[in-house]
Amino acid sequence: MQIDVAAERKEILARYRALIKACKRRLEKGDKEMIRKAFEVAVEYHKEMRRKSGEPYIYHPIAVATICAEEIGLGATAIVCALLHDTVEDTDLTLDDIKGLFGPKIAQIIDGLTKISGVIDNTASIQAENFRKVLLTMAEDVRVILIKLADRLHNMRTLEHMKRDKQVKIASETLYMYAPLAHRLGLNTIKTELEDLGLKYTDEHSYLEIANKLIETEPERKKFIQKFIEPLKEILQEQGFNFKIYGRPKSIFSIFNKIKNKGVPFEEIYDLFAIRIVIDAPLEQEKSDCWKVYSIITDFYHPSPERLRDWISTPKSNSYESLHTTVMGPEGKWVEVQIRSLRMDELAEKGYAAHWKYKESAAEKENKLEEWLKKIREMLDNPDANALEFIDDFKLNLFSDEIFVFTPKGDMKTLPSGATALDFAFDIHTKIGEQCIGAKVNHKLVPLSYELKSGDQAEILTSGKQTPKEDWLHYVITARAKSKIKNALKEQRKKVADTGREILEKKFYKSKVDFTLQNVKDFCKYLKLPTSQELFYRAALGNVDVKEIKEFIKWKENPKKIVPRKTDSQKIEQLVTNARGGNDMLVIGDDMQELDYKLSPCCNPIPGDDVFGFVTVSEGIKIHRVNCPNAIKLLSNYAYRVVKAKWMNEHLISFLAGIKIIGSDELGIVNNLTKVISNENNINMRSITFDTDDGLFEGTIMVYVHDTKHLNHLIDNLKKVKGVNGVVRIDEKKN
């Protein structure tokens, strides 16, 4: 195919002029020259390159820069970076070259853009690690992510030239990460377009079906909207409002989600559109005018009280401001009405692009953004979090709707929907979170796991003796709280391990074994433990005895007798195969969560118990003790659904177990028993009940232990308490 070089050069210049025109109003002295220089460098370095469509590659950087200028409203620095964003990755130009030509700031942003390139792949943890690096750059300069969003938007707009597998991968990434990011940054128009295009390439059939139905039903919709608007127009004009009123169809993606989530056909979705009323009001009158309009609408149409959303008094954290209500319109149909000022409308649609116009709110918006970036920095502060887990935490905090909770002094805190009293405590301060023992919500006492609602006033109760517990991780949803709890648990574990080291040293000395680094390593290998810290931790819990050390000495003399199990973590697919095939053995342990097993509450199995797995119809695999009261029935009637099971020995996690204690009712016996449990064994109690009758007592204690050895060690110590006649393990706490 003959390429018309002259025509292409003409087209490139025309596109460049359009870019300059788009950003003219924000250019300061010297900016135009810098953009021109970046344009010339990009043209030179991309001159041999073409896109999949056959067009010159330079069209892409110009398009990205134009989106940055026109649709996001960024300044000269970002436009220069957008023009150069692919040079370091795809051409001979280096970061040092860019630093020399354009300075360190532009080089830093381009470095961030190069790192982000193609990072988000939902499976590989290397990719997840890259994503962390990107967020680090983003936390330093948010323009990195804004330029990347522009880049992604242009790629999505030109995706038809890619191969099918590439289309699916890029579209999935877009829905997975980029659309929520655009939403979080207040770029509503871009978010909507990314979602719709993402759907187009991941589920074309649904996309086209909804798009066609929207076109078909348009005349009918217009008629309905007209009927709805007419009486309102008249009265709003009478009241002297300067306004625009129109119906806006919902995005294809949001209609698709409604169909999927509610299980209703397109025809039954009533809110296919929203009526928007945009009033031109001075800043100081915006709020009162919006409420006046609300009052007029609800005089005409009956509102649904639970569907009123006031984001004018408390804007969303992405700075979205609007008043939403749902009213009963003509023909008995519910209609969503959005009321906002011209300023609010521009900020909602364009986010950053509206900055230059509304300087008053820009500072406020920057603060909100700064707060959000601060949260990201905090998440990144946790150096050794699992990278994939980190992405999940990040996405959770990205997607979530928000609630507003007040402190006792009336300060407002924004938290993701579903946040608990414990999340709130950590949001105030790490120390308050770590020492939290409960909370008062609206002056009533609630537990740590209490789910907060918007408008709650919460007061956190603390105690200097409180420390974070393992099960706290189930009570929180914010990334900040999770990482702080994990760090605190790690610290506690380290302290316990330090005392365990001394205990083990004494036991080695008793058994006449040198306490050397090599011997400790070998002992770990013998017990199949991953680290020496794990070994010391177990020693502190009384979980390593002299008998094991003696067996270890024999093994050391003749290691061939006992072959230690490899600790290489197998792939999960292999584990599933092992669970059902081959040796028909299900392996239970911390790393196997993906197998979706549950510990059965009828017998509370703990590591060390002889157990089996039972494949249930709806709850995955349930683990029972072999001597469970229900075991005989299950083993005899449903043998084909039984899987052999054994415990892994990798990490110590806590399990609930019950103990029954019988003895004579001596003064202070309860205090002595609880002292043994709390002090000697680093064990947490969940509940304790005692009954006394005629000088005798009977007690039931539910405790968190790590395995049978840990539990037996505790039982032995409890038997030594004066006045105790018998201690036995029970299956569950009887009510």
Choice among 8, 11, 70, 90 that is catalytic: 90
* pLDDT tier for residue 304 given thresholds of 50, 70 and 90: confident
212 pLDDT band (50/70/90 cuts)?
A: very high
618 φ, ψ to 5°? -120, -15
Residue 692, both tokens: 């006394």
Mean pLDDT computed over 36-47: 90
Sign of CA dihedral 221, 227, 228, 234: positive
> Would you place residue 59 in the very low, low, confident or very high pLDDT band (cuts 50, 70, 90)?
very high
Q: Is 197 helix (H, G, I), strand (E, B) or coil?
A: helix
Which long-range contacts (C-beta less than 8 Å, at least 24 apart) are formed by 362-365?
Answer: 364/319, 365/186, 365/319
Distances (CA, A) of 16 to 31, 48, 53, 399, 700: 14, 19, 20, 36, 79
| Torsion angle of C-alpha atoms 674, 604, 438, 399, degrees rounded to 10 | 150
The pLDDT, as a whole number, for residue 354 is 54
Residue 91 pLDDT exceeds 80: yes
**Spatial CA neighbour of 314 closest among 412, 221, 418:** 412
Q: What is the DSSP letter of 562?
A: S
Question: Is the pLDDT at 483 greater than 50, yes or no?
Answer: yes
Question: Does pLDDT of 657 surpass 90?
Answer: no
Location of structure tokens 């620095």: 77
pLDDT score of 431: 92
Fold of 212-354: Beta Polymerase; domain 2 (3.30.460)
Lookup: tokens for 666:
């001596």
Q: How much of the chain is in helix, strand and coil states, percent to nearest 5?
A: 55, 15, 30
191, 409 contact by CB (below 8 A): no
- Are the CB atoms for 341 and 289 separated by under 8 Å? yes
Active site residue 89: yes
Nearest one of 37, 61, 39 to 49, comparing CA atoms: 61
Q: For residue 126, is pLDDT > 60?
A: no
Position 340 scores a pLDDT of: 94
Taking alpha carbons only, the member of 606, 588, 605 closest to residue 597 is 588
CATH superfamily for domain 5-202: Hypothetical protein af1432 (1.10.3210.10)
Cα(511)–Cα(500) distance, integer angstroms:
16
Query: Do the beta carbons of residue 100 and residue 341 sit within 8 Å?
Result: no
Instruction: Return the pLDDT at 690.
Output: 85
Q: Which two tokens stand for residue 217?
A: 């039903």
Would you call 668 helix, strand, or coil by DSSP? coil
User: How far is residue 311's CA from residue 497's CA, in Å, rounded to a whole number?
Assistant: 50
Single-letter amino acid, residue 140: E
Correct CATH for 655-730 of 3.10.620.30, 3.90.1150.10, 3.30.70.260, 3.40.50.300 = 3.30.70.260
- Report which of residues 638 and 348 the model is more confident about: 348
pLDDT of residue 266: 83
Provide the mean pLDDT of the chain. Answer: 79
Question: What is the Cα–Cα distance from 72 to 350, expressed in whole angstroms?
Answer: 6
Q: Which helix (H) or strand (E) covers residue 415, if one does?
A: strand 412-416
* CA–CA distance, 132 with 380 (Å, rounded to integer): 7
pLDDT class for 138, splitting at 50, 70, 90? low
- Give the pLDDT confidence score for residue 574 in this predicted structure: 42
- Give the pLDDT confidence score for residue 370 in this predicted structure: 62
Residue labelled with tokens 């290998």: 525
- Cβ-contact 476, 421 below 8 angstroms: no
Q: Is the pLDDT at 403 greater than 60, yes or no?
A: yes
Distances in Å between the alpha carbon of 635 and those of 576, 584, 606, 617, 630? 21, 15, 20, 16, 9
pLDDT computed for residue 390 by the predictor: 56
CB atoms within 10 A of CB 274: 16
For the chain, what is the largest distance between any 2 Cα atoms, rounded to a whole number of angstroms? Answer: 107
Query: What pLDDT does 280 receive?
Result: 92
Residue whose C-alpha is closest to residue 454's, from 463, 464, 442? 442
Going by DSSP bridges, is the β-strand pair 436-441/696-705 parallel, antiparallel, or unpaired?
unpaired
- For 280-327, give the secondary structure using H, E and C: CCCHHHHHHHHHHHHHHHHHHCEECHHHCEECCCCCCCCCCCCEEEEE
- Check if 393 is active-site: no
- Residue 595: the pLDDT is 57
Query: Could you read off the pLDDT of 236-252 as tens digits, one per residue?
Result: 999 889 999 988 888 99
What radius of gyration do the chain's Cα atoms show? 32
Q: What is the pLDDT of residues 527-552, one digit of tens each?
A: 777 788 888 888 877 777 777 887 88
State mean pLDDT over 561-580: 41
Summarize pLDDT for 598-620 with one digit per residue, the tens: 788 877 787 777 777 887 766 77
Please indicate whether residue 330 or residue 301 has the higher confidence score (pLDDT). 301
Residue 583 has pLDDT above 50, yes or no: no
- Which of the residues 33, 89, 204, 491 is marked catalytic? 89
Q: How many CA atoms lie within 13 A of 146 on its CB side?
A: 29
Q: Find the helix packing angle between 95-102 and 31-45, rounded to 10°.
A: 150
Q: Which residues pair with 341 in a beta bridge?
A: 279
* pLDDT given for residue 122 in this prediction: 41
- Whole-angstrom Cα distance, residue 231 to residue 252? 29
| Statement: residue 588 has pLDDT above 70 | no
Pairing mode, strands 642-647 and 585-588: parallel
**DSSP 8-state secondary structure symbol assigned to residue 50:** B
Instruction: Locate the domains of the chain by residue range.
Output: 5-202, 212-354, 486-561, 572-647, 655-730
The strand pairing partners of 416, in sequence order, are: 402
% the chain with pLDDT above 70? 79
pLDDT for residue 567: 35
Strand ranges for 407-531 from DSSP E: 412-416, 436-441, 444-446, 458-462
687, 638 Cβ separation under 8 angstroms: no
Return the amino acid letter for 268. E
Q: How far, in Å, CA of 505 to CA of 517, rounded?
A: 11
DSSP secondary structure letter of residue 383: T
Distances (CA, A) of 731 to 117, 399, 595, 604: 54, 41, 24, 6
**Beta bridge partner(s), residue 273:** 249
d(CA 442, CA 458): 6
Say yes or no to pLDDT of 653 above 70.
no
